Chains A and B, each alone.
Chain A
Amino acid sequence: DGGITQSPKYLFRKEGQNVTLSCEQNLNHDAMYWYRQDPGQGLRLIYYSQIVNDFQKGDIAEGYSVSREKKESFPLTVTSAQKNPTAFYLCASTHRDAGYNEQFFGPGTRLTVL
């Protein structure tokens, strides 16, 4: 089955620790995105990547880092510099030839800082 997977579903972190969220897709999509969702805030873009080995900052990139070494994978690292990391994180991908570029979303990861 084609789709986007995110792991883990729930993640707990102690303050001061870095943590990496996984996002994998087998849809052969070119572009991948990371969003953060907070209550009452909607979704906000953290980073996105349109091709392998290239990525751009979104609206709230501070305290986060990404890599895009493979087309299928776009991991997000939440660093200790992120002041309020507790949130729901969503990964998405899109095929650039789709015309309207519909974004498909993964099931999300809930990160809680203890």
Chain B
Amino acid sequence: AQTVTQSQPEMSVQEAETVTLSCTYDTSENNYYLFWYKQPPSRQMILVIRQEAYKQQNATENRFSVNFQKAAKSFSLKISDSQLGDTAMYFCAFMSDPQGGSEKLVFGKGTKLTVNP
């Protein structure tokens, strides 16, 4: 079974600085998808960024980017120019290739990020 590990339960960063959240996963599959979700205090889950394992290029979405290291099974999230609205729980998630019939997300336990003014 796949597992996702987020080794940093809590992190903090000053506004406008950069922070990196770590995520490692365990799988024997070659094709899969990785996601970072944000859960602000409202508890609404919001997709931040996604990465297809067959793509070597790291995904970016505005201030958010990932460092995807397939061989090391590592998928870190970098937030640049941190804003107060980035304060949230961040979850790393793994999904097997949907073509295989399984569309289940496996989540890590989350990292609580606080952006300080």
Contacts and interface: CB of A to CB of B under 8 A. Distances in A.
Contact of B103 (A44, A50, A88): A50
Chain A interface, >50% SS class = strand
Contacts of B64: none
Contact of B43 (A33, A92, A108): A108
Instruction: Identify the interface centre among A96, A102, A103, A107: most chain B CB within 10 Å of its CB.
Output: A103
A100 B33 contact: yes
A44 B107 contact: yes
Interface of A: 31, 33, 40-45, 48, 50, 58, 88, 90, 92, 94, 96, 100-105, 107-108
B70 to A, nearest CB: 16
B109 A41 contact: yes
Interface of B: 4, 9, 33, 35, 42-47, 50, 52, 91, 95, 98, 103-110
A56 to B, nearest CB: 9
A58 B91 contact: no
A33 B91 CA distance: 17
A102 B50 contact: yes
Given A45-B106, A101-B98, A102-B47, 6 more contacts: A40-B110, A41-B109, A42-B108, A43-B105, A100-B52, A105-B45
B103 A94 contact: yes
Given A100-B50, A101-B103, A42 B91 contact: yes
Nearest to B37: A105
B98 to A, nearest CB: 5
A41 B95 CA distance: 18
A88 B43 contact: yes
Contact of A43 (B52, B98, B107): B107
